[in-house]
Structure 1
Amino acid sequence: MQGAMKQHASSTQRVWQSLPRHLRRRAASHDVRRVPLRLRDRARQEMNSVQKKAPARLRPQRGKDKRLSRTETFLKRQRDKSWLETHIWHAKRMRMENMWGYRLVCSTRRFPIAVTPTEKAFRPSHRASVHGAILHDASYQTIIQLQGPEHILRTVLDTCCDLQGPGPGAKRYLPGARTLDTYIYEPGYYPFGLIGPATIFWRPLPTSQVPSTVPQDISAPGSQKSGKGKGKGKAKAPENSDPDALHRTVWVRIHPATSETVFAALRTSASLALDAARKAAAPGTQIDEIGVELEDLSGQLNAFEIMGPKANQVLKGALSPVSQDSRDDFNKFWTSMTDLQTSGSVPRGMIIGFKVLDPRLKFPPKNAKPSATPASPIIIPSATLAQSDLWEESTRDSLRKPRYKKKDLDERRSKNLVPGTPLSPLRQDNRVPVLLIQRSAERGAASKDLALHGWTLLLPAGWSIPFFSSLTFTGTRVGGQRERQTQAFEAGTAYFPRDYPFCAAHDAFVSARETEESARWERTPPAKRANYKRLGTRSPWRADWGVVLGLEASKDADVPTQREAGDSDAQPWLLRGPTVRGLIARLHTTPPPGRSAALTDELNGLRRRRTMDPLAVAPTALLLGALVRVRITMCTRGKPQDLGIIYAVDDAEARMWRRPHGSEEDPDEVALAEVKPPQTSIIGYITTGNFSLSHGEGRAVGAVSLLRFLELGEQAQRLASKELFVKVRDRDGQQCRAAHVEILDV
Structure 2
Amino acid sequence: MVNEGSKPQASVAPPHKLVVLKFAESRASELESLHSVVANRLNNDFRCQRNKRRRTTGHDDRVGRNRFRKKRRVGKEDVTKSDSSKKDEKKVSRHLRRRIELSNNPESGFCTSGDGTKRLRTHVWHAKRFKMIKLWGFHIPLGLHGRGRGSRALLKKLKCGALVHDMSYCTAVQLEGPEDMLLSVLSSVLVPSPSTNSEERLHNMLSGDIFGSAMLHHAGKPFSPTIAPVTYMWRPLTRIAVNREVHNASLCDEQQIIDNGAPFRQLWVWIHSAAFREGYDALRSACERQMDVTGHSLKCTSCEGQLGNLELIGSSAFQLLGKILQPANCISESSWHLKKCSAEEDEDEEESKKTSILNNEEQISSSAIISLIVNDPRTLSRNDIEVVPEGKPPGLLRKSKDQTRSERDAESLSFYPNLEDHSVAECIDLWDASRGICPPVEESVICMEKHHRRKEFICLGGTHLGIQNASTERNSSRLCPILLLKNENLEGSVIRWSIILPLSWVKVFWNTLVSNGAHAIGLKEKHQIACEAGLPYFPLDFPDCNAYSHFMAMEAVASDQKAKLCPPSTRPPKVPIPPPWDCVRLTFDKESSKAGNSQSQGEEDDGHGVPFKGFVARTSSMLIDFLNELGANRLLLFPKRLDQKNCMYKFTKDKEILKQDALNSEANSCKKQCFLRVLLLAHKEGVFEQGAVVCAPHITDVLTFRSKINNRELQIPQYSLKSYFLEIQLGEWDLQIPEDPAVQESYRWPIGFITTGFVRGSKKPVAGALCEATLLSRLREEQWKALPVRQRKKEVYVLVRNLRSTAYRLALATIVLEQQEEDVKFM
> Structure 1-normalised TM-score?
0.70
Whole-Å separation in 1 of the counterparts to 2:241 and 2:518: 42
Change (3 A) 1:350 1:688: same
Residue 127 of structure 2 is matched in structure 1 by 91
The residue type paired with residue 686 of structure 2 is: G
What is the deviation of 1:184?
A: 0.5
Residue 223 of structure 2 is matched in structure 1 by 191
Give CA deviations for 1:289-341 in whole Å, capped at 9, x if unaligned. Answer: x2111111111011111112221221122122112466434433433534x4x
Report matched runs for 1:728-739 at 5 Å: 728-739=800-811
Report matched runs for 1:660-679 at 5 Å: 660=708, 666-670=709-713
Which one of 257, 262, 267 corresponds to residue 250 of structure 1? 267
Whole-Å separation in 1 of the counterparts to 2:567 and 2:537: 34
Residue 786 of structure 2 is matched in structure 1 by 719
Give the CA RMSD over aligned residues: 4.3
User: Is 2:543–2:549's contact at 8 Å kept on the other side of the alignment?
Assistant: yes
Larger helix proportion of the pair: 2
Residue 164 of structure 2 is matched in structure 1 by 135
> Secondary structure, in 3 states, of the residue corresponding to 1:595?
coil
> Secondary structure, in 3 states, of the residue corresponding to 1:452?
coil
Give CA deviations for 1:554-610 in whole Å, capped at 9, x if unaligned. Answer: 9xxxxxxx98642558993333324279849x95xx9x97329999xx9xxxxxxxx
Whole-Å separation in 1 of the counterparts to 2:217 and 2:428: 30
Give CA deviations for 1:206-260 in whole Å, capped at 9, x if unaligned. Answer: 1231498999899xxxxxxxxxxxxxxxxxx9x9x74413111000011001111
What is the deviation of 1:440?
A: 3.4
Q: Indicate the larger mover: 88-97 or 309-318.
A: 309-318
Change (3 A) 1:644 1:703: same
The residue type paired with residue 372 of structure 2 is: F
What is the deviation of 1:266?
A: 0.7
> Secondary structure, in 3 states, of the residue corresponding to 1:641?
coil
Give CA deviations for 1:367-400 in whole Å, capped at 9, x if unaligned. Answer: xxxxxxxxxxxxxxxxxxxx981111366x141x
Q: Which runs of 5+ in 2 are unaligned?
A: 1-54, 72-85, 103-110, 330-337, 341-346, 385-426, 591-597, 607-611, 640-665, 718-741, 818-822
Matched, 1:465 2:507: yes
Matched, 1:360 2:378: yes
Whole-Å separation in 2 of the counterparts to 1:52 and 1:644: 62
Whole-Å separation in 2 of the counterparts to 1:356 and 1:254: 26
Residue 332 of structure 1 is matched in structure 2 by 353
User: Is 1:572–1:625's contact at 8 Å kept on the other side of the alignment?
Assistant: yes
Whole-Å separation in 1 of the counterparts to 2:141 and 2:577: 25
User: Is 1:624–1:707's contact at 8 Å kept on the other side of the alignment?
Assistant: no
What is the deviation of 1:629?
A: 1.6
Report matched runs for 1:536-615 at 5 Å: 540-550=576-586, 565-566=601-602, 568=604, 572-579=613-620, 583=624, 594-595=631-632
The residue type paired with residue 518 of structure 1 is: D
What is the deviation of 1:498?
A: 0.3
Whole-Å separation in 2 of the counterparts to 1:553 and 1:595: 17
What is the deviation of 1:687?
A: 0.9
Whole-Å separation in 2 of the counterparts to 1:456 and 1:419: 41
Residue 36 of structure 2 is matched in structure 1 by none
Matched, 1:512 2:539: no
> Structure 2-normalised TM-score?
0.64
Matched, 1:451 2:483: no
> Secondary structure, in 3 states, of the residue corresponding to 1:462?
helix
Give CA deviations for 1:148-183 in whole Å, capped at 9, x if unaligned. Answer: 111111111110001367558922211111110111
The residue type paired with residue 392 of structure 1 is: D
User: Is 2:676–2:771's contact at 8 Å kept on the other side of the alignment?
Assistant: yes
Q: Which has the larger radius of gyration?
A: 2
User: Is 2:212–2:231's contact at 8 Å kept on the other side of the alignment?
Assistant: yes
Residue 772 of structure 2 is matched in structure 1 by 705
Report matched runs for 1:111-510 at 5 Å: 111-118=138-145, 121-163=150-192, 167=196, 170-210=202-242, 242-277=259-294, 288=295, 290-323=296-329, 324=338, 327-338=348-359, 340=360, 343=361, 346-362=364-380, 389-393=429-433, 397-399=436-438, 401-402=439-440, 404-416=441-453, 417-418=456-457, 430-440=477-487, 442=489, 444-445=490-491, 450-510=492-552
Residue 421 of structure 2 is matched in structure 1 by none
Number of residues paired by the alignment?
591
Give CA deviations for 1:119-138 in whole Å, capped at 9, x if unaligned. Answer: 76533332222221111111
> Secondary structure, in 3 states, of the residue corresponding to 2:632?
helix
What is the deviation of 1:441?
A: 6.4
The residue type paired with residue 685 of structure 1 is: F
Q: Indicate the larger mover: 323-332 or 61-70.
A: 61-70
What is the deviation of 1:453?
A: 1.1
> Secondary structure, in 3 states, of the residue corresponding to 1:683?
strand
Residue 29 of structure 2 is matched in structure 1 by none
Residue 820 of structure 2 is matched in structure 1 by none
What is the deviation of 1:652?
A: 2.1
Residue 629 of structure 1 is matched in structure 2 by 677
Residue 688 of structure 1 is matched in structure 2 by 756
User: Is 1:187–1:268's contact at 8 Å kept on the other side of the alignment?
Assistant: no
> Secondary structure, in 3 states, of the residue corresponding to 2:311?
strand
> Secondary structure, in 3 states, of the residue corresponding to 2:679?
strand
Change (3 A) 1:333 1:684: same
Change (3 A) 1:529 1:689: same
Residue 40 of structure 2 is matched in structure 1 by none
Matched, 1:643 2:643: no
Give CA deviations for 1:95-141 in whole Å, capped at 9, x if unaligned. Answer: 110111xxxxxxxxx11001112376533332222221111111110
Change (3 A) 1:432 1:79: farther
Matched, 1:653 2:653: no
What is the deviation of 1:668?
A: 2.9
Whole-Å separation in 2 of the counterparts to 1:548 and 1:651: 20
Give CA deviations for 1:507-529 in whole Å, capped at 9, x if unaligned. Answer: 11111111111232344333213
Change (3 A) 1:563 1:683: farther
Whole-Å separation in 1 of the counterparts to 2:515 and 2:807: 48
> Secondary structure, in 3 states, of the residue corresponding to 1:96?
strand
Whole-Å separation in 2 of the counterparts to 1:145 and 1:540: 39
User: Is 2:433–2:502's contact at 8 Å kept on the other side of the alignment?
Assistant: no
> Secondary structure, in 3 states, of the residue corresponding to 1:540?
coil
Change (3 A) 1:115 1:267: same
User: Is 2:187–2:193's contact at 8 Å kept on the other side of the alignment?
Assistant: no
> Secondary structure, in 3 states, of the residue corresponding to 1:690?
coil
Change (3 A) 1:172 1:70: same
Whole-Å separation in 1 of the counterparts to 2:281 and 2:246: 28
Q: Indicate the larger mover: 570-579 or 263-272.
A: 570-579
What is the deviation of 1:365?
A: 7.5
Residue 234 of structure 1 is matched in structure 2 by none
User: Is 2:130–2:142's contact at 8 Å kept on the other side of the alignment?
Assistant: yes
Change (3 A) 1:645 1:65: same
Change (3 A) 1:198 1:724: same
Whole-Å separation in 1 of the counterparts to 2:667 and 2:782: 24
The residue type paired with residue 390 of structure 1 is: L
What is the deviation of 1:454?
A: 2.7
What is the deviation of 1:274?
A: 2.1
> Secondary structure, in 3 states, of the residue corresponding to 1:170?
helix
The residue type paired with residue 703 of structure 1 is: L
User: Is 1:642–1:689's contact at 8 Å kept on the other side of the alignment?
Assistant: yes
Whole-Å separation in 2 of the counterparts to 1:635 and 1:481: 29
User: Is 2:589–2:668's contact at 8 Å kept on the other side of the alignment?
Assistant: no
Whole-Å separation in 1 of the counterparts to 2:247 and 2:712: 71
User: Is 1:634–1:697's contact at 8 Å kept on the other side of the alignment?
Assistant: no
